[in-house]
Structure 1
């Protein structure tokens, strides 16, 4: 069995071999190469000590030298070279308190997480597989190296990684490994939010986001996303739905493309339903206000998991508007584009499509046709450059100031009133029309009166 590796990786191995050291490519790159996938990284393991590695190469970086890792720079590319090691006791369910360097490759491989990640290779010796990695690749199994309870006790993040690899590769998790996950899932509380977030995103962006259900079945969401557990316990007795809220959410994930914002939006679009559920006289379930509450809950979840602001804002925006209903009419579509934002409007349509596809057949064809019609109108509005934002308005604040209107809040109010007009009637988006003296006077007086009414209400309260 021959694995074709990059010239730079081969050069590093050859250099170390000539110096009398053992060296192999190891881990995920071997796994991916055997699967016919393009590896993202080419990691190297060796019996050379870090100081030995540094002597052999002109440019190195001490990326994790206390754990035996030196990054060898080949041009602009970096290759992690790590000394064989035995990990000491894991006191925080994540990092070993100490590491001991070893000269034995098998001992180094024994500390790795899963059999499919515990293989090594070089051209001279071929594939080194001492824990059944090839067999588990053939069986499509995620199995811990050695004792599963020990592997997860060493590093609780491996619990998330097991499900993530299962989703990325479409593999099943081996039974002993699965039982250990169920038992040790609570130890994920010791793992940083940032680490949980990374694994969650990788799972959601995989080709099999439906594997998210494994997180629930194995007791993982109870620790990292308890709001989802409440969704699994919330039935939807409504003609529009087939499933409980949680199952509906998981079904919807597969109907959007592999995109972080879209997959997160689907994961959390109905997160507010458990807290808004009511039943009418016919025992039909309703969830009034779930989108608005869901957006607020999602923001709390994103803060808890340390997400970046841009992702949080975009996803919460989609959740807030995902249940908005508007007819496939130009004026309504323009208003929706203004409300949601032009950048994310097509994503909203993707969310609404996925939501509909994960529902029952009740009025489903009609809903899908309406979405198609809205997309056609959106494309036409974009092509014709109809004004739906203040940036596209033919008039700006400077124009109003030049006419003697004092800077301040009223400028924004007048511009928004003008925008509302041209959204309804695109032909009105000209300076001549918008700045016509009598019309501008009427707009100014209307906004001025509304401002006075607002101040009166505030003082009365």
Structure 2
């Protein structure tokens, strides 16, 4: 395994000072799977105080010192260096009540979640839990007793599902049974952490496969008040592309209010919610190759978003969009996007001050007139030119005054 120079430097400095140090976790796993490692994490026999001393010439952050982690900045890179440790007692289902720093790498490895994440490297591989064999065979296996691992931090169950989805692995039977039995404990985990793992799970190539086995159990815990059509969800997940489309695929049969409540419960941001609702709405629209209908959509969404909505709806087994209609809609959208640049009131060739000069007061009446002008432009009745719009605005104002 070829390590970056800044990682090698950190390992060398620790060893030079008499400490054992190894790279462990996702970086080693990903390298063995033929993937480019992202972040590198180092474990060492040095205590936090000793680690700080080793890197005294570098900028360090020690906010994780209590749990053994020191963050070091080397050659413009950030490295987390954690002391070998064993842990006990997890009253809050996340943080250990007691952390004991140790000098033994094998004892440190025994506290980790899955065998594939416990392979260590420094010039050679250190594999105390047969993680390399499980990698070769495509197996997710908890280290030691799976129940103990999941009781320590229930989020590990979501992580197990995520690894199975992303890597295309199967979950070993004892690990699987413990996961099914203890999955309700994920409610002890913060909604933000559940959301983040759910997102990663959904982005895995095998998410529909893993969902077919665990999805009903998972959703009955996360969203117990919604009656899901699980076979339909699986079919949608097989074809949906992108995170927001996949979230929408799960909740497509839910009402607007139910979906809104679920997204808020899982702490999705307002921007994320809008993206999910965009795909949810795609299923509930009466799609047609109509210029006005598509222009109205472009007043709410970007060109790329509307195209994504069409592709999402067309991919669904229940789609109402034929290939011919989809092609016609894309052609109309492309033409609108290139030649029609008025989809919002702000795009009009006249502003509020122009209407005030005509004697139209600010307020609800002015807003109604501007909205009417925009609507008639999108229908193709008017062109977006100042003189044309002023004449029509004046006529609309006079009409309204007659009926008051």
Query: What is the TM-score normalised by the length of structure 1?
Result: 0.82
Change (3 A) 1:76 1:254: farther
Task: Please provide the CA RMSD for this pair.
Answer: 2.0
Q: Does 1:420 find its partner at 2:375? A: yes
Deviations 1:295-322 (A, max 9, x none): 2211101111111111112322432343
- The equivalent of 2:238 in structure 1 is 254
Matches of 2:85 and 2:390, distance apart in 1: 76
Query: Partner of 1:455 in structure 2?
Result: none
Do residues 440 (structure 1) and 393 (structure 2) align?
Answer: yes
Q: Which residue of 2 aligns with 1:263?
A: 246
Distance 1:133 1:449 in 2: 82
User: Which stretch has the larger CA shift, 66-75 or 342-351?
Assistant: 342-351
Residue number among 377, 397, 409 corresponding to 2:352 in the alignment: 397
Alignment pair present for 1:301 and 2:262? yes
Q: Secondary structure at the match of 1:435?
A: helix
Distance 1:31 1:225 in 2: 33
Provide the secondary structure at the position in 2 that maps to 1:428: coil
- CA separation in 2, counterparts of 1:267 and 1:446? 49
Checking the alignment, whether the CA contact within 8 Å between 1:144 and 1:151 is kept in structure 2 is yes
Deviation at 1:415, TM superposition (A): 0.6
Q: Check conservation: 1:256, 1:350, Cα contact below 8 A.
A: no
Runs of 5+ consecutive residues of structure 1 not aligned to the other structure: 232-244, 273-292, 453-461
- More displaced stretch, 422-431 vs 331-340: 331-340
1:28 to 26, 29, 49: 26
Match of 2:92 in 1: 92
Closer/same/farther in 2, CA of residues 246 and 396 from structure 1, 3 Å limit: farther
Equivalent of residue 159 in structure 1, options 157, 160, 173: 157
- Aligned-partner Cα distance in 2 for 1:315–1:449: 45
| Cα distance per residue 1:183-207 (max 9 Å; x no partner) | 1111111111011001001111222
Q: Deviation of residue 425 (structure 1)?
A: 0.8
Pick the aligned partner of 1:336 from 291, 297, 302.
297
- 1:285 match: none
Q: Secondary structure at the match of 1:254?
A: helix
Deviation at 1:144, TM superposition (A): 0.4
Residues of 1 paired with 2:287 and 2:158: CA distance?
40
Instruction: Note the alpha carbon deviations across 1:41-88, whole angstroms, 9 max, x for none.
Output: 100000000111111112110131100000011143210000000011
Length, aligned pairs only? 401
Q: 1:224: Cα distance to partner? A: 1.5
The question of whether the paired residues in 1 share the 8 Å contact of 2:191 and 2:267 is answered with yes
Give yes or no for the alignment of 1:213 onto 2:212. yes
Among 359, 365, 384, which residue is 2:339 paired with? 384
C-alpha distance in 2 between matches for 1:200 and 1:215 = 12
Going from structure 1 to structure 2, the CA distance change for 1:107 and 1:327 (only over 3 Å counts) comes to same
Tell me if structure 1 keeps the 8 A contact 2:244–2:279: no
* Mapping 1:325-364, distance limit 5 Å: 325-339=286-300, 342=303, 344-355=305-316, 358-359=317-318
Q: d(CA) in 2 for partners of 1:22 and 1:374? A: 63
Paired with 2:68 and 2:207, the residues of 1 have a C-alpha distance of 35
Distance in 1, Cα, partners of 2:401 & 2:278: 31
Q: Distance in 2 between matches of 1:255 and 1:92?
A: 38
**Partners of 2:14 and 2:315 in 1: CA distance:** 52
Q: What's the TM-score once normalised by structure 2's chain length?
A: 0.94
The 1:158/1:67 distance shift into structure 2, 3 A limit, reads same
Q: Secondary structure of 2:214's match?
A: helix
* Structure 2 unmatched ranges of 5 or more: none
Asked whether the equivalents of residues 11 and 22 of structure 2 are also in contact (C-alpha less than 8 Å), the reply is yes
Higher mean displacement: 183-192 or 380-389: 380-389
State how far apart, in whole Å, the 1-side matches of 2:401 and 2:193 are.
Answer: 52
CA displacement at 1:95 relative to structure 2: 1.6
Inter-partner Cα distance in structure 1 for 2:276 and 2:20:
49
Shift, 1:35, TM fit: 0.7
Give, in whole Å, the separation in 2 of the partners of 1:390 and 1:411: 11
Mapped partners of 2:225, 2:161: distance in 1: 19
Q: Does 1:189 align with 2:187?
A: yes
